[in-house]
């Protein structure tokens, strides 16, 4: 099973690494980080990089596609090499997935039209521009398309996928192996539960306040 995780400049690291930690543990999994070019690809703050070991052309038919989000998503909202690769890979993929604002890239490539999907809570209102029904659920599975909400939900998405691919026992074994048992010290992980002033502050600072989707 060939798993391709897309990298692009200014991606969010956990969007890619969370699913990797789960999916790479599936039986017979071959995981590769792909990009427009090989070499180091830096995260959104430029202090951490992952290495793209293959170009998009090197991986034409992955079984699973994972698209992370991050501020660099903005550069991939119009047609280009990433969209072309996604549409071609999607023709034969078993699962096409995203984390956080990676769903905006899938939507802009035309892969989520008429479907339900999620994204980071600050980006949900961007999805309808591409004919996508937004939902605030943490993980959405619509046919073979699996989208996850913000950043940390990529682990949940990957565990859901692991269970569907290899069975509950394998997924539970992976969960235990990475000791994924969230017990956060605060209950502020969604805008419905976080203090109103924090929600307002983050919303005011959101890059989507100034950005507008180009359908």
pLDDT band at 208 (very low <50, low <70, confident <90, very high): confident
Is 204 contained in some domain? Answer: no
Is 66 contained in some domain? Answer: yes
Concatenate the DSSP letters of all residues of 77-98 into one string: SSSSHHHHHHHHHHTT-SEEEE
Is 203 contained in some domain? Answer: no
pLDDT band at 207 (very low <50, low <70, confident <90, very high): confident
Count structural domains, the chain. Answer: 1
For residue 173, the enclosing domain spans: 2-182
CATH number of residue 160's parent domain: 3.40.50.880
Annotated active-site residue in 41, 59, 65, 100: 100
140 DSSP β-pair partners: 147
Is 104 contained in some domain? Answer: yes
Q: Is residue 42 scored above 80 in pLDDT?
A: yes
Q: What pLDDT was estimated at residue 209?
A: 67
- The mean pLDDT value for 68-76 works out to 97
Task: Please confirm, yes or no, whether 100 is among the known catalytic residues.
Answer: yes
Q: Is residue 196 scored above 60 in pLDDT?
A: yes
Distance CA 74, CA 86 (A): 16
Q: For 182, list phi and psi in degrees, rounded to 5.
A: -55, 130
Distance CA 66, CA 69 (A): 10
Percent over 90 (pLDDT), the chain? 95
Question: Do 159 and 173 meet the contact criterion of CB atoms below 8 Å apart?
Answer: no
Crossing angle of helices 168-177/153-166, nearest 10°?
140
Is 195 contained in some domain? Answer: no
Percent over 70 (pLDDT), the chain? 97
Is 201 contained in some domain? Answer: no
Q: Is residue 214 scored above 60 in pLDDT?
A: no
Is 198 contained in some domain? Answer: no
Is 194 contained in some domain? Answer: no
Sign of CA dihedral 31, 33, 34, 37: negative
């Amino acid at each position: 099973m060939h798993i391709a995780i897309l990298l692009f400049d200014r991606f969010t690291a956990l969007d890619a690494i969370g699913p990797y930690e789960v999916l790479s543990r599936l039986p017979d999994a071959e995981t590769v980080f792909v990009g427009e070019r090989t070499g180091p690809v830096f995260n959104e703050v430029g202090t951490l990089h992952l290495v793209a070991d293959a170009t998009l052309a090197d991986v034409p038919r992955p079984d699973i596609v994972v698209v992370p989000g991050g501020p660099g998503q903005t550069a991939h909202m119009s047609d280009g090499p990433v969209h072309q690769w996604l549409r071609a890979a999607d023709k034969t993929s078993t699962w096409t997935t995203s984390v956080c604002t990676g769903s905006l890239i899938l939507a802009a490539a035309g892969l989520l039209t008429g479907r339900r999907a999620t994204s980071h809570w600050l980006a949900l209102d961007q999805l309808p521009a591409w004919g996508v029904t937004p939902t605030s659920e943490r993980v959405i599975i619509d046919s073979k398309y699996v989208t996850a909400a913000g950043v940390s939900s990529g682990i949940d998405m990957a565990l859901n996928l692991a269970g569907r691919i290899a069975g509950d026992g394998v997924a539970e074994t992976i969960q235990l192996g990475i000791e994924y048992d969230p017990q956060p010290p605060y209950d502020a992980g969604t805008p419905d539960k976080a203090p109103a002033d924090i929600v307002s502050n983050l919303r005011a600072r959101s890059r989507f306040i100034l950005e507008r989707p180009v359908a």
